[in-house]
Structure 1
């Protein structure tokens, strides 16, 4: 079974059997919510769509973004990633991990890990610790 592994310091913290998820966070200065939709395909993470719920200094929506109901939508041009590394700082608002519009703090899924670099990567049930 394929899915997503969450790791810190080369230790597996969680395995989630899923193929798509949304990563969300609030900008630390402008207090604007950002959301990214990710899909797991061929062992890589693919960024499908992103949304910005407003704008602010240094947070201009990219060219081609479309404003719908106060939210900027765009399709980032990012190559598929083997790993996504996220700072997990207690000094900023936590990342939220969402599946089917249900969100919870990413750190909660990572066993409460705080102030550690978290890594998300695609994995198979048989090779979770890679």
Structure 2
């Protein structure tokens, strides 16, 4: 079964037996919520949809985005991502991982952001539930 692996440079810190997830965070400058929905595939993480509550520095809304439920919704047209690398500094706050509508900070699985390791990678991996 495919699952979500969290780690760095191929070292697995956590394996989560989930097929889909939402990644959510606050933009570090604008403090606006950003969300991306992913499905795991053998080729990588396939982004399905993204939502953002507003615009700002580096947060341009695509022309085909639709505004409803207090957010701009759009569907990025991207190939599956083999490894999604995220910056993770304590000052920026933590990412949220949501499965089936229930969210937890990423620190729930891999500890709090720290200056010794300021990145995490997400990828599709084989897990045993």
Contiguous gaps of at least 5 residues in structure 2: none
| 1:121 aligned residue | 123
Contiguous gaps of at least 5 residues in structure 1: none
| 2:40 aligned residue | 40
Q: CA contact under 8 A between 1:13 and 1:111: conserved in structure 2?
A: no
Q: Could you state the TM-score of these two structures normalised by the residue count of structure 2?
A: 0.88
| 1:51 aligned residue | 51
Q: Which runs of 4+ in 1 moved over 6 A?
A: none
**1:63 paired to 2:92:** no
CA RMSD across the alignment? 1.7
Distance (Å, rounded) in 1 between the aligned partners of 2:127 and 2:60: 40
- Higher deviation after alignment, 81-90 or 99-108: 99-108
Distance (Å, rounded) in 2 between the aligned partners of 1:111 and 1:125: 20
Give the drift of 1:88: 1.1
Distance (Å, rounded) in 1 between the aligned partners of 2:103 and 2:114: 18
Give the drift of 1:57: 4.0
SS at match of 1:109: helix
Distance (Å, rounded) in 2 between the aligned partners of 1:95 and 1:2: 22
Give the drift of 1:26: 0.4
Q: Mark the CA change 1:57 to 1:2 in structure 2 (over 3 Å): closer, same or farther.
A: closer
